[in-house]
């Protein structure tokens, strides 16, 4: 079978190496390529995939929303998120899914998270917020600019960064979804955790560096921390499972990605 990831730019994607590590571990002679699609040519996407006999592909920035117009069917959760990161092609029929939020949730210590506080309101935040809302959690999103939250299509509490302190004590999960703390990003950390419950889990969707200042401070205060590596591995593993019905080897995928970090 043939798989791909599409994006623009895409040259630094670790997905091909990660998926090949999984194929190798399972003894599968499958391919997975990175395709840099010029946004001006995106309307040819179905021809591009047909020509390469692609059976399934991942979608990354900037096409996660645009791809929806080219699908025959969209999974309910992905439709609510307004973002698709996984497309399965069966006999020319394209179905879209989103494994970002489920991949993130799989990376957390397994327990019920009923009050989730997200910092940042970009695409990743929106997917994760919807993922938790679908599980019945109470979701609060704090964002620097309130306008960004105005058109969110479901009920979350919408707050500013200054309000975090007031909402944090009831959160059992805090997640940074902003680029603050990413290697090469200069801005300062957002939060000091003074009012956070001691049992709360603190997560960041960033995985380079493995410990952002956000996570380091939480760790120093004795809170459980989770970085974004598990989310990246699990979203890929779950895509593979959607495409093939087989169980992915997450250990092989993790070892492979760690070699590049
Ligand atoms: P994604 O890749 O998840 O789609 P994005 O669209 O780049 O991310 O969104 C980045 C998020 O990080 C936004 O919520 C942004 O806040 P604004 O809506 O106010 O721009 C937030 N963000 C970026 N830099 C930030 C900073 N220095 N402090 C606080 N929030 C920041």
| Domain at 91, CATH number | 3.40.50.10860
Q: Each residue of 115-167: pLDDT tens digit? A: 999 999 998 999 999 999 999 999 999 999 989 998 886 689 999 999 998 89
**Shared domain check, 112 and 47:** no
What confidence score (pLDDT) does residue 97 get? 98
The reply to whether 120 sits in an annotated binding site is: yes
Question: What is the number of the ligand 1 atom nearest to the C-alpha of 188?
Answer: 27
Whether 176 lines ligand 1, by a CB cut-off of 6 Å, is: no
> What is the domain count for the chain?
2
Residue 185 lies in a domain: yes
The reply to whether 205 sits in an annotated binding site is: yes
What band does 189 get if pLDDT is binned at 50, 70 and 90?
confident
Give the closest residue to 58 by CA, choosing from 74, 35, 80, 75. Answer: 35
Share of the chain above pLDDT 70, in %: 99
**Shared domain check, 216 and 114:** yes
Residue 103 lies in a domain: no
Domain span at residue 88? 2-98+230-260
Share of the chain above pLDDT 90, in %: 89
ipTM of the prediction: 0.95
Whether 85 lines ligand 1, by a CB cut-off of 6 Å, is: no
| Burial class, 167, CB count within 10 angstroms (exposed 0-12 / middle 13-18 / buried 19+) | middle
Helix count (H) and strand count (E) of the chain?
Answer: 9, 12
User: Domain with 158 in it: what CATH number?
Assistant: 3.40.50.720
Whether 121 lines ligand 1, by a CB cut-off of 6 Å, is: yes
> Which sign, positive or negative, has the C-alpha torsion 71, 76, 77, 80?
positive
**Shared domain check, 223 and 113:** yes
**Shared domain check, 18 and 57:** yes
**Shared domain check, 240 and 221:** no
**Shared domain check, 169 and 115:** yes
- Give dist(CA 163, CA 176) in Å, integer: 15
More confident: 187 or 14: 14
Question: What is the number of the ligand 1 atom nearest to the C-alpha of 161?
Answer: 29
Which residues form the catalytic set? 64
Residue 216's contacts (CB-CB under 8 Å, 6 or more residues apart) are none
Cβ atoms within 10 Å of 58's Cβ, excluding its own = 25
The reply to whether 235 sits in an annotated binding site is: yes
Residue 152 lies in a domain: yes
- What average pLDDT does the segment 1-28 reach? 97
């Amino acid at each position: 079978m043939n798989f791909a990831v599409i994006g623009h730019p895409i040259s630094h994607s670790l997905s091909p190496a990660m998926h090949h590590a999984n194929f190798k571990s399972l003894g599968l002679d499958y391919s997975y390529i990175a395709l840099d699609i010029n946004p001006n040519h995106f309307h040819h996407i179905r021809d591009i995939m047909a020509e390469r006999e692609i059976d399934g592909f991942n979608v990354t920035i900037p096409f996660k929303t645009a791809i929806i117009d080219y699908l025959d069917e969209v999974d309910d959760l992905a439709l609510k998120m307004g973002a698709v990161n996984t497309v399965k092609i069966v006999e020319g029929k394209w179905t879209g899914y989103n494994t970002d939020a489920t991949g993130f949730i799989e990376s957390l210590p397994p327990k019920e998270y009923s009050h989730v506080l997200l910092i940042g309101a970009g695409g990743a935040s929106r997917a994760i917020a919807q993922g938790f809302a679908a599980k019945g959690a109470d979701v609060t999103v704090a964002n620097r600019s309130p306008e960004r939250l105005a058109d969110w299509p479901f009920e979350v509490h919408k707050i500013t960064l200054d309000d975090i302190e007031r909402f944090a004590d009831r959160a059992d999960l805090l997640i940074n979804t902003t680029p603050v703390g990413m290697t090469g990003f200069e801005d300062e950390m957002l939060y000091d955790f003074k009012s956070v419950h001691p049992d709360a889990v603190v997560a960041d969707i960033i995985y380079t560096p493995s410990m952002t200042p956000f996570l380091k401070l939480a760790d120093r205060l004795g809170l459980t921390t989770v970085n974004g590596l598990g989310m990246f591995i699990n979203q890929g593993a779950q895509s593979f499972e959607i495409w093939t019905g087989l169980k992915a080897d997450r250990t092989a995928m993790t070892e492979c990605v760690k070699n590049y970090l």
